[in-house]
Structure formats: structure tokens, C-alpha cells
């Protein structure tokens, strides 16, 4: 696998540890026809198994319920609640961008010297693709189901800021956290968390949810055709989500739903799910807390 500037060094495989689930792995075809339904909505075929019985995905560290914490909770609350990143307006303003950069956030959708944007450092796995408007820095999903993931580095503890906008209420997209290793099969969905985008669904499949695992306290989305803003923090096993400045989720992750176990280190990614409905992303910033 290649960085935008070179080659990712090889990684030593470490077995995953976690509880198995009875989650129904419906076929990709059913999901793309939108004929699947929660809680059995799928992302693809069952995980590929090696001849020795192991899985294809690896991780250097694995988190289970509360087993790995790297920063004090007070630090998380101080950095992730409010701050300059969350405008409460559903969009990242130019002044907010300046504040983010001064506070150590990295813009992961990079700009060239002439001000245009580039997808350098981003790779796509699976069907579909993301189109980048180089003038505005807006990513638009096409087709699915696939994953656009940021290959430059893996993150353990971090705060992620981004804007998103959907075309229709039942658009289906998401933000993946700690994808464990460059994805080469759909197996990554069983070992990483997704913050869901889908205003038409309920509970653990609604916008702001940890998909298939933990429901948001409220639907704080501004609806289709309007920019919304996510502030997502992930420290140890602790996930918090703010949507348009409103706290909607505070959860200590445990293997649940489709996720059998999860890594303490991994890539971030954006999901493209629908063949006919587009979702847009922009102003993607991340701050490592490691």
C-alpha cells in the first residue's frame, strides 16, 4: 500500500480478540437494492477466512470494554466539548478553520499552493467513488457500497471535525473510525465503528448513532440540503458525538451489533452507500490526542 508520498511499512499481524455475534450478514446485492432492513442491514458478504481459520484484518492493539485508556477523561472533556471547532450552525466557518489550525488540527483534505484541493493521501476501497470539487473542497459520493479512507496515518485517540450534507432524508452514509489496516475486503466493518448518517432511520441506525450499537439521544440534523457539522471524539473506548453543536452521544464502546471487536489504532474513512443518492463532505479536520 502506498502513501501519497511513499510506501506504508509492513505491519505485523496481531489476532483480534472479541465476542462473536449473531448479526445476520445479508448479501451486498440485497443491501444495494435497499431491500434489507435493520437490524440486519448489511455492508457485504461474510468476512473472508484464511485457510488457518484467521481473519484477514490485523491490528497492533485491540480494545475491549474499558480495557485501554490513554488520556484522562478530563482532558477529553476539555478538548472535545465546545472548543472553537463546533460552531453550532451546521457548518465550519473560515474563522473556525483558522482556530482549528491554530489548535493543532490537521486538514486531511489537503490544499495545494494555488488554493485548490486534492485527494492526495486518500484511497478508495469497494464499489463507487468520491468526486472532489477542487475549487470548493467538497467530496460527493457516487455509487456504493465503498469506503474512502485516509491512508496517510492511523489514529488512536483523536477529535474529528467535518461538515456533511445529504440530498434526501433517507440518504445513507457514515464516518468510519479506526479502520484496522488498509481494507482489502469487507471484513473491516466487523472491526471498526461507524457514526451513521441517515435521518429517515431510528435508534441505532439514525444520524449520530454508532451504527448498529448505540443510539443518539436526539436527532439534531438540520435535514437534507443543509450543511451539518459533526464533532466526534474517540479516546480509548470512549466515543462522543456532537451534531451541530448539540451533544447526541456519549458511550463507552463494547463489541455489539455487527462489530465483533475493535482496534485501538486505525484509519478514518467516509462511506458511500447508495447508487442513486449523493452525500457531500467538506472541511475535514482531525486532531491526534496520542
Question: Quick one: average pLDDT of 48-70?
Answer: 36
Q: Average per-residue pLDDT in the chain?
A: 77
Please determine, for residue 179, whether its predicted confidence score (pLDDT) is greater than 90.
yes
Which run of H or E residues covers position 284? strand 279-288
Instruction: Give long-range contacts, CB 8 A cutoff, 24+ apart: 204-211.
Output: 204/38, 204/39, 204/257, 205/38, 205/39, 205/41, 207/243, 208/241, 208/243, 208/248, 208/249, 209/249, 210/239, 210/241, 210/249, 210/251, 210/253, 211/174, 211/257, 211/258
**3-class secondary-structure state, position 255:** coil
Asked whether the beta carbons of 91 and 269 are under 8 A apart, the reply is: no
Please determine, for residue 13, whether its predicted confidence score (pLDDT) is greater than 70.
no
Rounded CA gap, 137 and 50, in Å? Answer: 40
Least confident of 35-44, 146-155, 251-260: 35-44
Q: Give the other-Cβ count within 10 Å of 142's Cβ.
A: 16
Architecture (CATH level 2) of domain 60-288: Sandwich (2.60)
| pLDDT in the model for residue 144 | 82
Confidence of residue 74 (pLDDT cuts 50, 70, 90): very low
Q: Which of 205, 255, 193, 261 is nearest to 41 (CA)?
A: 205
Higher pLDDT: 170 or 36? It is 170
Domain boundaries, the chain: 60-288
- Residues of the chain with pLDDT > 90, as a percent, come to 61
Please determine, for residue 43, whether its predicted confidence score (pLDDT) is greater than 50.
no
Please determine, for residue 24, whether its predicted confidence score (pLDDT) is greater than 70.
no
Least confident of 76-80, 89-93, 129-133: 76-80
**3-class secondary-structure state, position 87:** coil
| pLDDT in the model for residue 99 | 84
Distances (CA, A) of 193 to 108, 143, 187, 266, 267: 19, 21, 12, 10, 11
Please determine, for residue 236, whether its predicted confidence score (pLDDT) is greater than 80.
yes
Please determine, for residue 66, whether its predicted confidence score (pLDDT) is greater than 60.
no
Query: φ and ψ at 203, to 5 degrees?
Result: 60, -125
Which residues lie closer than 8 Å to 30 by C-beta, 6 or more apart?
36, 42
| pLDDT in the model for residue 199 | 96
Confidence of residue 237 (pLDDT cuts 50, 70, 90): very high
Which run of H or E residues covers position 31? helix 28-32
Please determine, for residue 89, whether its predicted confidence score (pLDDT) is greater than 70.
no
Candidate ranges 42-46, 81-85, 87-91, 117-121; pick with highest mean pLDDT:
117-121
Question: Quick one: average pLDDT of 76-105?
Answer: 59
- Put simply, whether the predicted model's pTM sits higher than 0.85 gets the answer no
Distances (CA, A) of 93 to 87, 98, 99, 178, 282: 8, 9, 10, 27, 11
Please determine, for residue 130, whether its predicted confidence score (pLDDT) is greater than 70.
yes
Please determine, for residue 206, whether its predicted confidence score (pLDDT) is greater than 80.
yes
Question: Quick one: average pLDDT of 202-230?
Answer: 97
Which residues lie closer than 8 Å to 213 by C-beta, 6 or more apart?
193, 204, 251, 253, 256, 257, 259
Beta pairing partners, 122:
150
Amino acid at each position: 500500500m502506498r502513501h501519497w508520498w511513499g510506501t506504508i511499512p509492513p505491519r505485523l499481524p496481531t489476532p483480534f480478540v472479541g465476542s462473536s455475534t449473531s448479526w445476520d450478514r445479508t448479501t451486498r446485492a440485497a443491501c444495494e437494492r435497499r431491500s434489507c432492513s435493520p437490524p440486519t442491514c448489511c455492508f457485504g458478504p461474510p468476512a473472508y477466512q484464511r485457510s488457518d481459520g484467521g481473519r484477514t484484518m490485523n491490528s497492533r492493539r485491540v480494545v475491549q470494554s474499558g480495557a485501554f485508556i490513554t488520556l484522562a477523561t478530563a482532558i477529553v472533556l476539555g478538548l472535545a466539548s465546545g472548543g472553537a471547532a463546533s460552531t453550532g450552525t451546521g457548518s465550519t466557518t473560515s474563522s473556525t478553520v483558522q482556530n482549528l489550525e491554530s489548535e493543532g488540527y490537521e486538514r486531511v483534505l489537503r490544499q495545494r499552493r494555488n488554493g485548490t484541493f486534492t485527494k492526495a493521501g486518500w484511497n478508495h476501497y469497494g464499489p463507487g467513488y468520491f468526486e472532489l470539487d477542487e475549487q470548493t473542497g467538497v467530496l460527493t459520493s457516487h455509487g456504493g457500497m465503498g469506503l474512502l479512507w485516509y491512508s496517510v496515518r492511523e489514529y488512536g485517540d483523536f477529535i474529528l471535525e467535518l461538515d456533511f450534507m445529504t440530498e434526501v432524508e433517507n440518504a445513507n452514509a457514515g464516518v468510519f473510525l479506526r479502520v484496522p489496516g488498509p481494507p482489502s475486503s469487507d471484513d473491516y466493518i466487523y472491526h471498526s465503528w461507524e457514526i451513521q448518517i441517515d435521518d429517515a432511520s431510528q435508534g441505532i441506525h439514525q444520524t449520530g448513532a454508532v451504527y448498529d450499537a448505540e443510539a443518539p439521544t436526539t436527532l439534531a440534523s438540520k435535514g437534507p440540503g443543509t450543511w451539518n457539522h459533526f464533532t466526534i471524539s474517540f479516546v480509548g473506548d470512549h466515543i462522543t458525538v456532537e451534531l451541530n453543536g448539540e451533544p447526541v452521544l456519549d458511550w463507552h464502546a463494547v463489541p455489539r451489533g455487527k462489530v465483533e471487536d475493535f482496534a485501538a489504532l486505525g484509519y478514518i474513512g467516509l462511506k458511500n452507500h447508495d447508487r442513486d443518492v449523493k452525500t457531500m463532505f467538506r472541511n475535514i479536520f482531525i486532531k491526534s490526542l496520542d
